[in-house]
Amino acid sequence: MPCLFYGKPAILLCDGLIGFDADEDENGMMMNCRGMFTCDAPMCQDCATWHGNIFFFRQSGGMETKDYCPLCEVLYQSGERIRVAPHRKDFAIPEPCLAEAQTDIIRKAHWNSDLNNHRRQLSSIQGGGQQCLPF
């Protein structure tokens, strides 16, 4: 998979937090948190900004790094977030509870919020597969 930002081989996925796979009660408090949704932008080591290690211990144990893509790093430095639930904006965890389909839409919009030179070279061709011939 190529890096979303410069086209090199991607070895990391961005860990910027989008929201949670959880339920909410009538007061906006999270219940039954099943997991987190992250940016997941594929990136090379040169694009990643390291934010620490996450250690886990189970049967095999191990360590993961927490890395942000250039888009999430800008948000982190400015104190902003990818997405904030309006009814929880003053809470300790303001990110919304989302469904997987909602997260995919937010993720794509976030990725397209800034186009660099590499991304400008990528284009999609729309239509029914017609070809234009030079006459």
Residue 106 has pLDDT above 60, yes or no: yes
Average of per-residue pLDDT across 52-69 = 76
Q: What is the pLDDT of residue 114?
A: 74
With the C-alpha atoms ordered 6, 7, 12, 17, is the resulting torsion angle positive or negative?
Answer: positive
Q: What is the pTM of this model?
A: 0.74
**Residue that the structure tokens 């800008």 belong to:** 74
Average of per-residue pLDDT across 1-26 = 90
| Per-residue pLDDT band at 6 (split at 50, 70, 90) | confident
Residue 72 has pLDDT above 90, yes or no: yes
Lookup: tokens for 17: 């937090």
Lookup: tokens for 18: 């989008």
Average of per-residue pLDDT across 108-117 = 80
**Residue that the structure tokens 């300790």 belong to:** 92
